[in-house]
Chain A
């Protein structure tokens, strides 16, 4: 290794500790937020391990865990078995949550919604997802996802950070760390949250889901909120105009430069730059969230909710606008999928919230030529049981948590379109073909981005912390384009 490399590494080490302004960091594409003045690396130039196919990710997380049986995992045989007892040979004594483990019966419950085949692959999709059906040739449905946790908190934490326990970096933080920023004035990793109409009193979310864990704090996701101030503290206080703020920053820079001549601490220069970047964000973020320049036909694609800030539809549109601005990782959460009871009603509403906007996002990216290098993922933290929680009626049945199989779909950069991967048994209980562990999904997502999941790691307390965990995991080659 030559001296420059050494210097870069030291700089990077130093940078990781205090994010000082270091050439090395920029050269390695590691800035969580691109610093001003430095030559911004285009999104193509980020250092990667393998040839990347996606440059950015939009993760449409469906929080609470959607049922696979009424959506993507078609089980026609369940009709005849409806309300009969789930055979022991299927359950095989696997653990249940405390919510149904005391139940005397486990009545098999068929979907109350019909399915039809769509697209060239003849993919079976539920009547609840007509818009998703229209993009059947663009998506890859995985029916053989499985996870290790059976309750929401650990399961969603596992899905988003690779570990059930708090303290690990989130997926977006890893990507921000691995690839760095591709834009000057916006965060690298953003988070948007919407509330479903399907179930009131829903599962909560936690800041740790977009936290940086053992990575430096700058890689954490920045939450974009509906309303006047999309980013915390973005707006000047009342009575402080942009003009006054500019004067303040000029004065501050002048004084900090005077300090720099004495103290010679490079951190001072970094601070000056961060204040300037903050100033630019103050106009770049409102520009991003102001959708008045969107033509009517685009808005209509996303459905009527798009006119309401804070809805899933609006967030999907904003996700596209962020993708255009090269935000690396856009994480959406849509709450309200935890359907222990009244599933038919709640599920219908949740699908109405999400079906059209999700499909619109894929179509919109596609018509802009951006689907090829944007990876879109739709899915929750686990599946739901084939047996009903509580009494089976056509309108009030519910399903408990089911970690042994669930469905999600991916589309865009690096993913084979129009295919179904994996199979489950006749009860959608156990996986019979091509299981995909959540950590395999992590490996796959990183692979699409050109990152080797085994090498994207951070030593912490003697362990090489990785998104894909400590066990042997693999990208799902069969679905990679």
Chain B
């Protein structure tokens, strides 16, 4: 039999107790009958309408009693008849259902219950908790508080007596571990042992609750539930920053934030009036879900998965409800319809974050930035720089003749030009063509009518270009200016006077790349040459006015490039010109000597024997336009004018724009390293929510839009509460909500007693295990709410009880009668959690550092673990920390979901992928290997050995005693001491005979080895220390 439900086990246990001669108790519907019906019958006769057989429903009293159950008459009740039937056609559950038939004991219970009138109650967890009177007890002196009365009453009813109180050493170690996750120091133990006052223990508890370690310890359980991790969890599993939320949780516990507020802020802190930064950070709770970045993923699909995850996490952790079951169909056991599921889902279907962030590393979606004080100051500086450069840009724009119409009308009276061109080919296209004939080259220039008049069309071949003979003289030592209009379609030479065969002697202006402009002045390429370039200043296919000026110095600094009359910034690529540049080659348009042919159009060449400046170029061009402008401007010319003007303004503003861009980039680069945390934020318009058929993202039932609402079997939203996350948050912590307080109290009980009063902390539904002490759970829940949801107060009540203070030693009677300790007639005894194990070893050895909060720590991890699984886009190998980063509390250990840290995962920590309300507690050989061989623990053993040797002034016995006490909180018995001494003597003999082994052993770990201790002595104490760290007692909360 592979499947056995929790209630069945519970029932079985009761039967066993019954059989073993313990007093019978009346059949209890909730304890005894409902779990049976749920387990065996509800799948076909429960809330799921689609699966219901024979129209019979056994989860509702009225339906059940209408036909199947005749109260008081078991033999005429169809229910019992079918259960007892041997006929495969009649028998229930039917053989093909895979449900186990009811045992005779179980059938007898049903009979008895029907005979008693089949009293019915709604599911316990769905009705509000109420305070019942304290039960009477015989041993009235035992209880220390109300809670103990409930425990004792049940213990006595079973004929058991509570265990004696644990020793004071055990008590202080237990309560210190339970409240802070750390062992008590020897000083704390001494202080407690010497304190004879009657409230010594209570004051100890208060000290522990006030310790910052308390919040760190409590956060662990909450982080499991909130599936908190430091990576996004899917595929390449990129890092993310959510630790500010983790620190928020720790802080909230330490501040004893009331639990209702704790819940409210995490669910809907962003929607609270005047939400603070802290309240927005709290909403990171529901951004901890995994998020997809894998290329090719489908947004809608993963949006749905994220939302389902939020429903499951919220309902499991806060309500103890497995709402996820109703994603595809009505819940089979609890009255949660599929529609209710999607109405609950609608609360979350209105946030800004997306389902899929393509290959996005780091945080994505709505975030809050959290700069430190220094970062704030630096950021303010950088913001100021951005503002300053923007201001300069604005001023440049204002003076840049930015207005097109004003410029156009200004053309009517252009500024007069003082300088006169030495050569000018007018824009109407009669480009000194005669000169070409003079040159005698094959002349086939094509003239074409364009907006600037007739223009020269270049087709990218030699035939189409023009040579102007020796009309232009260009010298390195004499100033000049050359300008023309060009509409380039490809790269090529604008013009040249260059002899390629003579080491490129001469000058050219080229269009290269994507609208780049390059100018060469060459005596001998490339040893005696000058070259400057401006990137992205021309637009292919658009007209530009391009001018080059040289001041006659022959230096790069003396060469200027102007586009549309505006000086453009250049990059100097060569600046070694010193020789002459003179050449006999003609001045050519559209090519070099015999290459680099341009395709496009050119017009209007002007050459000057001076170097014109920006305003002169503007005047020159404006004058050209002025002579050209007709009464009405045709469209194609208007286009050129606009383009010209736009480019001119843009180019004029370009250096200022570059400054703004640079300042903005510097600001953003800095801001990128400021931690942020992902948070919830509402969209302007919620997405419409539909019921998804079979839960499939691509099968919405669009016939009806669903709106946010809570399940109908629970109280409605509080009066006036909005139908959004804020309303949901208010509903969760409303006094009439029957689940939230019970689930919380049960979780805190689980943290104190190892398992919950409701063992299935994640499931308070019909399939969950019923509480062992329902009245106690209710009393605690009611009191918790009345106390103002005081978490520390609740812990104080739990750990100061007589129940808590019992010894955990097991007797034969208890082992037989109550192996699971469901009656609490002793204290539970169990292995520490993964985090506590490591923290315990670090604390015992003195390695633990007190650094709190901040980015995750990277403690020792065997090399290669990340790389083995990583694909192509991994974020590199694990970078082990140094110094104190190696010895921080485990709550701060980096959590990579696809490769959980082995010190955690070996000891049942989850991979933090989904909400987990309780961990398993296994005992495996891999754990033994880790505790014996992991550098973490080997180094801890060395430090424990160092403490024994350095902190004790005395003999070997005293050193052994000290080490044992550090590890267990008590002194060894003479027999234990003897065993330890014998071991130590053997190790001593071994390592004094083998100095190399001693040297190797003490070299384990990054920390320094104290030189004051002889190697062999330190090595001999290390195996002893390791044994102490591996004692069952050291690993166990007793």
Seen from chain A, the residues whose Cβ lies within 8 Å of a Cβ on chain B are: 1, 3, 6, 9-10, 12-14, 17-20, 32-33, 95, 97-100, 150-153, 165-167, 178, 193, 200-208, 211, 216-218, 222-223, 225, 227, 229, 231-241, 243-245, 247-248, 251-252, 254-256, 258-259, 262-268, 270-272, 274-275, 277-278, 281-282, 335, 400-401, 454-459, 461-464, 470
Contacts and interface: CB of A to CB of B under 8 A. Distances in A.
Contact of B316 (A18, A166, A205, A461): A461
Contacts of B923: 18-20, 267, 270-271, 274
A459 B509 CA distance: 79
8 contacts: A204-B236, A239-B999, A248-B1030, A251-B979, A255-B1027, A401-B296, A461-B316, A461-B763
Given A255-B1027, A264-B810, A461-B763, A151 B322 contact: no
A379 B561 CA distance: 64
Contact of B913 (A9, A98, A166, A202): A166
Given A20-B923, A400-B296, 9 more contacts: A6-B16, A12-B4, A98-B298, A237-B938, A237-B1004, A238-B1000, A248-B932, A263-B810, A275-B928
A464 B296 contact: no
A12 to B, nearest CB: 8
Contacts of B935: 237
Contact of A3 (B19, B233, B934): B19
Given A10-B13, A165-B305, A204-B235, A259 B294 contact: no
Contacts of A455: 2-3, 98
Interface residues of B, number: 118
A237 B1001 contact: yes
Closest 4 CB pairs of A and B: A201-B872, A239-B1001, A239-B1000, A97-B296
Contact of A13 (B9, B296, B811, B998): B9
B2 A457 contact: yes
B925 A278 contact: yes
B921 A18 contact: yes
A118 B926 CA distance: 46
Contacts of A165: 305, 914
B254 to A, nearest CB: 30
A9 B12 contact: yes
B699 interface: no
Interface stretch (B239-247, B519-527, B666-674, B899-907): B899-907
A39 B852 CA distance: 49
Contacts of B15: 6
Contacts of A277: 925, 928
A1 B1030 CA distance: 41
B1031 interface: yes
A33 B830 CA distance: 21
B105 to A, nearest CB: 8
B762 interface: yes
Contacts of B983: 247-248, 251
B871 A95 contact: no
Given A166-B233, A232-B902, A462-B325, A251 B831 contact: no
Contacts of A244: 987, 990, 1023
A19 B2 CA distance: 16
A153 B234 contact: yes
B331 interface: yes
A97 B299 CA distance: 11
B5 interface: yes
Contact of B979 (A204, A222, A254): A254
Contact of A232 (B331, B830, B926): B926
Interface stretch (B409-417, B583-591, B655-663, B861-869): B861-869
Nearest to A282: B929
Contacts of A12: 4
B933 A206 contact: no
A204 B871 contact: yes
A239 B1004 contact: yes
B1002 A459 contact: no
**Considering residues A12, A151, A202, A461, which has the most beta carbons from chain B within 10 angstroms of its beta carbon?**
A461
A456 B874 contact: no
Nearest to B38: A462
Contact of A238 (B13, B811, B1004): B1004
Interface in B913-930: 913-914, 920-930
A204 B237 contact: yes
A1 B15 CA distance: 12
B871 A236 contact: no
Nearest to A13: B9
Contacts of A1: 103
B286 interface: no
Interface of B: 1-6, 9, 12-13, 15-16, 19, 98, 103, 233-237, 290, 292, 294-298, 305, 316, 322, 324-325, 328, 331-334, 358, 698, 762-763, 765, 767, 808-812, 815, 819-820, 829-831, 862, 864, 868-874, 897-900, 902, 905-906, 908, 911, 913-914, 920-930, 932-935, 938, 973, 975-976, 979-980, 982-983, 986-987, 990, 997-1004, 1019, 1023, 1026-1027, 1030-1033, 1035-1036, 1038
Nearest to A271: B1032
Contacts of A9: 1, 4, 9, 12
Instruction: Pick from A232, A270, A277, A470 the residue with the most CB of B within 10 Å.
Output: A232
B999 to A, nearest CB: 7
A271 B873 CA distance: 41
Given A229-B862, A256-B1031, A267-B829, A151 B297 contact: yes
Chain B interface main SS type: loop
Contact of A205 (B762, B820, B869, B913): B869
B978 to A, nearest CB: 10
B894 to A, nearest CB: 14
Contacts of A462: 322, 325, 331-334, 763, 765, 767
Given A18-B830, A203-B871, A204-B871, A262 B809 contact: yes
Contacts of B767: 459, 461-462
Contact of A152 (B235, B911, B920, B1000): B235
Nearest to B104: A1
A470 B328 CA distance: 10
A214 to B, nearest CB: 9
A99 B359 CA distance: 12
A239 B12 contact: no
A33 B922 contact: no
B874 A204 contact: yes
A268 B830 CA distance: 10
A131 to B, nearest CB: 27
A32 B922 CA distance: 11
A150 B767 CA distance: 34
Which among B810, B925, B975 has the greatest number of chain A C-beta atoms within 10 A? B925
A258 B973 contact: yes
Contact of A33 (B235, B924, B998, B1000): B924
A251 B926 CA distance: 20
Contacts of A255: 976, 979-980, 1027, 1031
A263 B933 contact: no
Nearest to B309: A165
B12 A259 contact: no
A247 B1020 CA distance: 12
B898 A204 contact: yes
Contacts of A245: 932
A204 B870 contact: yes
Contacts of B900: 207
Contacts of A205: 868-869, 871, 898
A161 to B, nearest CB: 11
Nearest to B39: A459
A277 B316 CA distance: 37
B762 A461 contact: yes
B945 to A, nearest CB: 13
Contact of A231 (B4, B926, B927): B926
Given A218-B922, A278-B929, A457-B3, A238 B872 contact: no
A207 B911 contact: yes
Contact of B911 (A14, A100, A166): A166
